Each structure stands twice: as structure tokens, then as C-alpha cells.
Amino acid sequence: MTSGDEAIRLAEQRAEATRARNLPQFTDMPIPGDTANLREGANLNDALLSVLPLVGVWRGEGEVVYPTIDGPFRFGQQITFAHDGRPFLIYEARSWLLNEAGEVIRPAARESGFWRPQADDTIEVLLTHNTGIIEMYYGKPIKQTAWEFQTDALIRTATAKDVTAAQRLYGIVNGDLAYVEERAMMGQPMQAHASAQLQRVVG
């Protein structure tokens, strides 16, 4: 198990490459810009302390699998958690399919939304997918660096896949952001669908 001093040393070492990076900024905006770097921009709202470790930009690879697809398939992904000083995180995830050699095949899934921590430690997560799905999750931190969510409501367009429920587990593991997503869709019971491990590139 890593000691507190060793964890701080490793975090400082990782930050050497990421602390000077942030989201591109428009300097002529009349309101505060989004920041994914806690050293820059608006101060973090106290309501976001339970999700503070997530703030940044993360990039890495994962795997998607499900009985109704031919996979498993490898994918690359970038996830952004940013804020503008108000009590919510701005969330964006962009993915791309990879071949066995790790080369990009094409763009894949996109998600955007908001993480909204509440006073009772509940976190509301609102996500919109490019595939025509809108999800509302509720969850809580399960420790300082791990968060678990389940869908409370799900809306689909007429052309979207038949998704009925989903759940996600996120965690910071040895400095990386890792997650597992399970889905019930296309007549299948809840089961693993996607997982990834991402490294911090900003913040």
C-alpha cells in the first residue's frame, strides 16, 4: 500500500507534465471560462469537494463488449471534468475505435452532461449521448476516490437502441481514472458493457 508521503510524491511527479495545461480559453467571454485545472480559473465551489479528484482531462484506452455486438472492441477515449466556479462539474467524453495494432479506425461514442453533487452526498449525473439517449443517474461517493451510480430515468429517441438501465463505477486507481459501465439493453439483463483506464493529461 502506498504511504501518504509516497502518494504525494507520485502525484507531484505526474503533475510535472500536466499542471501547465488547461482547456483552450476565449479571452473575450464576459463570464468565467471552464477550467479543468485546479490551479487556474475560478475557485472550485465547496459543493464539489467530493468530486475534486476528477477535475482534469483524462485520456487512455478501454474495451467495449456485449452479447449483441461482435466485439470485444478496443477504443481510445478522452474524458473532461471541468467547472466554472458553480456547484457542478461539466462532463464530456469522446471515444474512437482502435484496431488490434492500436491505430484509429473512426470516431465512436460521445457523451456530454453535468455532475451535480448535493448536500446529502448524493450526486446527480445527467448525460446526453450522440446515439439519441438521455440518462439521469443518482449515486454517491463510496470513498474519497470512488463513485457509484445507477440510472433513475432514461429517455430514448425513436431511432436509439433499446436501453432500459445502466450503472457505472468510477475510481482513481494509482493516479489513473478507471471506470466500469454495465447496461441492460436489447433484451439483455444488466451486464458489463464498457471499461477503461485513463491517464491525466491536464490538471
Question: pLDDT tens digits, residue range 110-123?
Answer: 999 999 999 999 99
Spatial separation of the C-alpha atoms in residues 130 and 35, rounded to whole Å: 24
Say which residue, 10 or 149, is predicted with more confidence. Answer: 149
* Listed range (3-12, 40-49, 113-122, 154-163) with the worst mean pLDDT: 3-12
pLDDT given at position 126: 98
Tell me the Cα Rg of the chain.
17
pLDDT given at position 8: 58
Question: pLDDT tens digits, residue range 124-160?
Answer: 999 999 999 999 999 999 999 999 999 999 999 999 9
Grid cell locating 173 = 486507481
Give yes or no for residue 162 having a pLDDT over 90: yes
161: part of which helix (H) or strand (E)? none
Residue 16 DSSP label:
H
* For range 75-89, the mean pLDDT: 98
Give the position of cell 479543468.
36
* For range 84-101, the mean pLDDT: 97
If you count them, how many residues does the chain have?
A: 203
Phi, psi angles (nearest 5°) of residue 46: -60, -25
Spatial separation of the C-alpha atoms in residues 138 and 163, rounded to whole Å: 17
Give yes or no for residue 163 having a pLDDT over 90: yes
* For range 179-198, the mean pLDDT: 97
CB atoms within 10 A of CB 178: 18
Tell me the percentage of the chain whose pLDDT exceeds 90: 83
* Listed range (5-14, 36-45, 139-148) with the worst mean pLDDT: 5-14
pLDDT given at position 3: 56
Question: pLDDT tens digits, residue range 57-73?
Answer: 999 999 999 999 988 99
pLDDT given at position 52: 97
